[in-house]
Chain A
Amino acid sequence: MSAELYRGPWPNNVSKLAKYAVRFTDGEWKVTVLYDAGDGLRYLAVDGGGAAVAKQVNAVKSAVRDQPGGAFYVNEYRHIIVPVAADPATALQAVYYFAGRFNGDFQFEFERSLLSTRPVDRDGRALKPGDTWIGPRPGIPYVLAAGAKDVYFETAALTDTDPPQVRANMTRRVMLSKVLRDASAAAETARKISAIRSHAGGRFYVNEHGAIFSPVTEAGAGISYIYCGQLEMEKWFPEPEVAQS
């Protein structure tokens, strides 16, 4: 297969808990996630193995670097995006490829119950903004701008060519207000996060269900991840163009 660079946000440098991974477990390639179980980190395998997604991810990994397995992400457009170590000359840590669309729903077995990446609690009840995020945390990082009126992401700059190429030594900061050409719509989205994070701004994550959660430092309790609400896609970045699969 020929893999194509992903034109949407590249989730650089996020925590190892913020990504899925394809790992060879019990004789097969499975989708796994690293989960903070409170008493330490554990790899959880997706219920059913996620063989189809593992195959899509491995197809890209094998095509580009000749080796299966490793990290991947599913973003809010349900695009499966796969980082592959970059050529050192580019000064990038990784380049990101589109591996296909995700049509399913990951669930992970943990202590005899199923954990979901949907915004629900252990009993399956819907979370409300301000509730603690208890599920696995893979997500795409975005930033609430200082002042809390806008949201942006930073990513490697690509050329407009088809297929796209990396523009050496260049990054892009993309502001929601400029993409939407509507500062009030961007501010409405920003308000969901600032209600949890304060106006100082900071990082938050969006997962494949459009759920928004953000790390918040709580006095004496360290960092907790708090659910901020759901994306309203008409007040969000439009879906990046991807190759038809």
Chain B
Amino acid sequence: MSELIVQVASKPFKRWLGPYSPARGIRHGLRFHKGELGVWSGDATGSQFWSVRGTSVKRLSKVVIQTWGGGRLLFLPNGYIVKPLPGDDERGKRVLVGTFTGALVVENDDGDEFDFSDPPDQRPGARWDGPTTLGLECVMESDGSVRCHWYHPDEYGRAGVSAVLVGPSAPRARSFRAARPGESSGRVHITPNGHVMTNFQIRPKVWEARYVCYIDPSELDDWSHWIE
């Protein structure tokens, strides 16, 4: 896949009402650390910050830091980049800050890299050796369809949406069962370039990240109707 190209949206940023369900956690997902966009990844021995590689992301970083001081971003598999607003009176609101094409690659200080467009082992059930908290958290149903739930505030409280992002697929369902033997549905992450991973409990309190399948972004509906 080609290198990452990020286009920053023009201000005022438009409100995003569409899929938004990143993994929760103060070190989860793509976020800013010392002015760099990246992701925390690690194991029991500690975690390291892996920065997003590429020059075109710098302009986006500059805009986000100038506007909000940092925070987190969600790179959606259709190429949208979404920023949750940080203010107390903006809780649950998100805006579309840009779009991207090309491979999202992260690298750490040791020179290790992980290419989200081309994970090293793409066999269903293979161990996922990259960061495990990136992407859109969804549920893969037993028929291979992928459903996403999210909320956004409205005038009197909040609206909850539950939408099928991609329909049934027997190969996808088989891939899920290969990744999580004995289970037919469960939580998955669609990572920025469309590869899907899941966490499988291999023994009590021990989880292993595993590759599931690839969802071609062209399979996704047009999400522009979620832009307000």
Q: Could you list which residues of chain A lie within 8 angstroms of chain B, going by C-beta atoms?
A: 91, 152, 154, 157, 169-175, 178-179
Selected contact of B157 from candidates A91, A169, A170, A172, CB within 8 Å: A172
A residues in contact with B154, CB < 8 Å: 172
Query: Is the pair A178, B157 in contact by a Cβ cutoff of 8 Å?
Result: yes
Q: Interface digits, B139-180 against A, CB 8 Å rule (1 contact, 0 not)?
A: 000000000000100111111111110000000000000000
B residues in contact with A91, CB < 8 Å: 162
> How many residue-residue contacts, CB under 8 A, span A and B?
35
B residues in contact with A157, CB < 8 Å: 159
A169 to chain B minimum Cβ distance, whole angstroms, is 5
Query: Is the pair A174, B156 in contact by a Cβ cutoff of 8 Å?
Result: yes
Q: Could you list which residues of chain B lie within 8 angstroms of chain A, going by C-beta atoms?
A: 151, 154-164
- How far, in whole Å, are A179 and B159 apart by their CA atoms in the complex? 14
The 4 closest A-B pairs by CB, nearest first: A175-B157, A171-B160, A173-B157, A174-B157
Query: Which of A154, A170, A173 is most buried by chain B, counting CB atoms within 10 A of its CB?
Result: A173
A residues in contact with B161, CB < 8 Å: 169-171
Query: Is the pair A170, B156 in contact by a Cβ cutoff of 8 Å?
Result: no
Closest to A157 in B: B159
Closest to A237 in B: B156
Query: Is the pair A173, B162 in contact by a Cβ cutoff of 8 Å?
Result: no
Query: Is the pair B155, A170 in contact by a Cβ cutoff of 8 Å?
Result: no
A110 to chain B minimum Cβ distance, whole angstroms, is 39
Closest to A180 in B: B156
B residues in contact with A179, CB < 8 Å: 156
Interface of B is mostly: strand
- How far, in whole Å, are A172 and B154 apart by their CA atoms in the complex? 9
7 pairs from A and B in contact (CB 8 Å cutoff): A91-B162, A169-B163, A169-B164, A174-B157, A175-B156, A178-B155, A178-B157
- How far, in whole Å, are A170 and B154 apart by their CA atoms in the complex? 12
- How far, in whole Å, are A178 and B158 apart by their CA atoms in the complex? 10
Given contacts A173-B158, A174-B156, A178-B157, 18 further A-B contacts (CB under 8 A): A152-B157, A154-B160, A157-B159, A169-B161, A169-B162, A170-B161, A170-B162, A171-B159, A171-B160, A172-B156, A172-B157, A172-B158, A173-B151, A173-B157, A173-B159, A173-B160, A178-B155, A179-B156
Closest to A168 in B: B163
B residues in contact with A174, CB < 8 Å: 156-157
- How far, in whole Å, are A170 and B155 apart by their CA atoms in the complex? 15
A residues in contact with B155, CB < 8 Å: 178
Closest to B151 in A: A173
Closest to A154 in B: B160
Query: Is the pair A178, B156 in contact by a Cβ cutoff of 8 Å?
Result: yes
- How far, in whole Å, are A173 and B151 apart by their CA atoms in the complex? 10
- How far, in whole Å, are A154 and B151 apart by their CA atoms in the complex? 12
A8 to chain B minimum Cβ distance, whole angstroms, is 13
- How far, in whole Å, are A157 and B164 apart by their CA atoms in the complex? 17
- How far, in whole Å, are A170 and B162 apart by their CA atoms in the complex? 6
- How far, in whole Å, are A178 and B154 apart by their CA atoms in the complex? 10
A residues in contact with B160, CB < 8 Å: 154, 170-173
- How far, in whole Å, are A154 and B164 apart by their CA atoms in the complex? 21
- How far, in whole Å, are A169 and B159 apart by their CA atoms in the complex? 10
A240 to chain B minimum Cβ distance, whole angstroms, is 12
A94 to chain B minimum Cβ distance, whole angstroms, is 17
B165 to chain A minimum Cβ distance, whole angstroms, is 11
- How far, in whole Å, are A91 and B164 apart by their CA atoms in the complex? 11
- How far, in whole Å, are A175 and B160 apart by their CA atoms in the complex? 13
A residues in contact with B158, CB < 8 Å: 172-173
- How far, in whole Å, are A229 and B162 apart by their CA atoms in the complex? 36
Closest to B162 in A: A169
A residues in contact with B151, CB < 8 Å: 173
A residues in contact with B157, CB < 8 Å: 152, 172-175, 178
B166 to chain A minimum Cβ distance, whole angstroms, is 14
- How far, in whole Å, are A179 and B154 apart by their CA atoms in the complex? 11
- How far, in whole Å, are A169 and B164 apart by their CA atoms in the complex? 9
Closest to B154 in A: A172
Closest to A175 in B: B157
B residues in contact with A178, CB < 8 Å: 155-157
